[in-house]
Amino acid sequence: MPTPKDILGHLHGGRVLDVATGSGNFIHFLLDALPASTEIIGVDSNPRAATAFAEAFKDRPNIHFELEDALHLSFDSHSFDLVCISNSLHHFDDPLPVLRQMKRVLRPGGHLLVSEMYRDGQTETQMTHVHLHHWWAAVDTVNGIVHRETYQRRELVEMVAGLGLEMLTLHDLSEADENPKDPEILTELDPVFARYIQRAEGHPALQARGEELRQRVLDIGFHSATTLIALGEKPNE
Ligand SMILES: C[S@@+](CC[C@H](N)C(=O)[O-])C[C@H]1O[C@@H](n2cnc3c(N)ncnc32)[C@H](O)[C@@H]1O
């Protein structure tokens, strides 16, 4: 599997934006490849993300959080060297305006990165992750939260290719060599099952689906679905 350095090692860092950053998970991936001096701004529209983000990067003064709507970024055009979005495109009704905002704030010659899991071509154990994701999406949807099912790989490639970037590279990341029935997996997933089954209150079919998926983790096992990382360069205008 390609490492962060294989994918990003040729970039010099500079000023980086991570859109829909949540608690900043993807920034750890970036830090494995980019120079320590890189300034990273994580933005998210959920104020609760700010607390977890601040805790995760409390010792990194050059990494900070700003409350922003990805559809209306307040940053100047051409003001970042690298703009990323990870595992979030399926959290928007229409991800294209977000991608266009990301391209707008990127300087010519800068890089745009999309990292997103996809649903096709997965093994049975990875399909457990895909089914889980789709169950979370269904539970969020009945609670009025925008959360779509995951995309097909082809759809993601088409979306990024449509942005008119240059030197587009595609990397497929999977960790399917780990033990799919490691008891640690259920220990980690159990509180998530509990939370989502509670959120599905009043929707017995959704609650039953959660119980079935919990059993599937035991019977079939779990691997993270393959993630596509697409990286391209913004042309000079
Ligand atoms: C699954 S999380 C991904 C977090 C992180 N990027 C990661 O890879 O772990 C999706 C994030 O999208 C954020 N989000 C959804 N709509 C948004 C919007 N309009 N503007 C900014 N962030 C948004 C949510 O608050 C959530 O933190």
Between 62-66, 92-96, 151-155, 182-186, the lowest mean confidence (pLDDT) is in: 182-186
Average pLDDT of the segment spanning 221-235: 97
Reported pTM: 0.96
Atom in ligand 1 nearest the alpha carbon of residue 49 = 27
Q: What integer pLDDT is reported at residue 186 of this predicted model?
A: 87
Atom in ligand 1 nearest the alpha carbon of residue 91 = 15
| Beta carbons of 17 and 27 less than 8 angstroms apart | no
- Residue 142 CA to residue 203 CA, distance in Å, equals 9
Which CATH fold would you assign to the domain 4-233? Rossmann fold (3.40.50)
Residue by residue, DSSP assigns 166-204 as EEEEEEEE--TTS-TT-HHHHHHHHHHHHHHHHHTTT-H
Mean of the per-residue pLDDT values for the chain? Answer: 96
Every domain of the chain and the residues it spans: 4-233
Q: What integer pLDDT is reported at residue 42 of this predicted model?
A: 98
Measure 69 CA to ligand 1 centroid, in angstroms. 10
Nearest Cα residue to atom 27 of ligand 1: 22
pLDDT for 110-159, tens place per residue? 999 999 999 999 999 999 999 999 999 999 999 999 999 999 999 999 99
Single-letter amino acid code for the residue at 37: S
Q: Is the CB of 113 under 6 A from ligand 1?
A: no
Per-residue confidence band for 36, with pLDDT thresholds at 50, 70 and 90: confident
The tokens describing 230, both together, are: 């697409």
Q: Is the CB of 115 under 6 A from ligand 1?
A: no
- Residue 2 CA to residue 234 CA, distance in Å, equals 23
Q: What integer pLDDT is reported at residue 158 of this predicted model?
A: 98
Q: Which residue has the tokens 């266009």?
A: 100
Average pLDDT of the segment spanning 39-55: 97
